[in-house]
Amino acid sequence: MRLALAEAQAALAGDDVPVGAVVLDESGTVIGAGRNTRESHGDPTGHAEVVALRAAAATRGEWRLTGCTLVVTLEPCTMCAGALVLARVDRVVFGAYDDKLGAVGSLWDVVRDRRLNHRPEVVAGVLAAESTALLDSFFARHRGMS
């Protein structure tokens, strides 16, 4: 999670919401990393999870990320939760809960929907205070600018 938090910090340079993610293989080696790039790249799909999944798939040379763990500082949204399922990620670990857009237990629970063909394990609340503080600081600054 510390590596994901470092990615979240790096997102601030592009004035993006500070969310970071890393993908670990079965041995715990980082095979993909990402941060929010929606603002810096003008890409609506530039969520940290999607960026990290793309990097991990490129490292592996295939889209199936079976055996991998995605670690992210904020609970994934519906798009990212769907991407986790489709990539066959075995485990998702997240920091802060997202009561407005969370799709891994807060608002929706996409990854544990029994109608889907894959359901990753979920570990929630890891270093949640650090993740939340980073987000709260970012949004307080941006709200003060309006």
What residues are labeled active site?
A: 49
DSSP string computed for the chain: -HHHHHHHHHHGGGT----EEEEE-TTS-EEEEEE--HHHHT-TT--HHHHHHHHHHHHHTSS--TT-EEEEEE---HHHHHHHHHTT-SEEEEEE--TTT-TBTTS-BGGG-TTSS---EEEE-TTHHHHHHHHHHHHHHHHHH-
Tell whether residue 68 is among the known ligand binding residues. no
Between helices 48-60 and 78-86, what is the axis angle to 10°? 20
Q: In sequence order, what are the residues at sequence separation of 6 or more whose Cβ sits closer than 8 angstroms to the Cβ of residue 13?
A: 40
Length of the chain: 146
Annotated binding site, which residues? 47, 77, 80
Annotated binding site for Zn(2+), which residues? 47, 77, 80
